[in-house]
Amino acid sequence: MAHIYQRFKDQATRKALCHWTTKTLYLRKKQQDSAVAENLHAATISNETTLTPEKEARAQEGR
């Protein structure tokens, strides 16, 4: 990254580029975190709705 900043001698341009880079990386990380959370939530729901042999046995015992 340092070589990119060396190309820009203007302090305002360097500051803007640094801000853009930081913001982009933050938003990308935030998007990845929300995707992981969605996948985890979907997996939890599918595990709760899927009948496993143990769940079937408990359901039949309750009848």
Residue 23 lies in a domain: no
Task: Count CB neighbours of 17 within 10 A.
Answer: 16
Which stretches of the chain are DSSP H helices? Answer: 2-7, 11-49, 53-62
Domain limits for position 48 = 37-63
Q: What letters, b where the CB count within 10 A reaches 16 and e where it falls short, cover 33-63?
A: eeeeeeeeeeeeeeeeeeeeeeeeeeeeeee
Residues with pLDDT less than 70, the chain: 1-8, 45-52, 55, 62-63
| Separation of alpha carbons 10 and 37, rounded Å | 41
What is the pLDDT at residue 43?
Answer: 73
Q: How many domains does the chain have?
A: 1
Task: Enter the pTM of the model.
Answer: 0.46
What is the pLDDT at residue 11?
Answer: 78
What is the pLDDT at residue 2?
Answer: 59
Residue 30 lies in a domain: no
Check if the beta carbon of residue 4 is closer than 8 Å to that of residue 20: no
Residue 13 lies in a domain: no
What is the pLDDT at residue 5?
Answer: 59
What is the pLDDT at residue 33?
Answer: 87
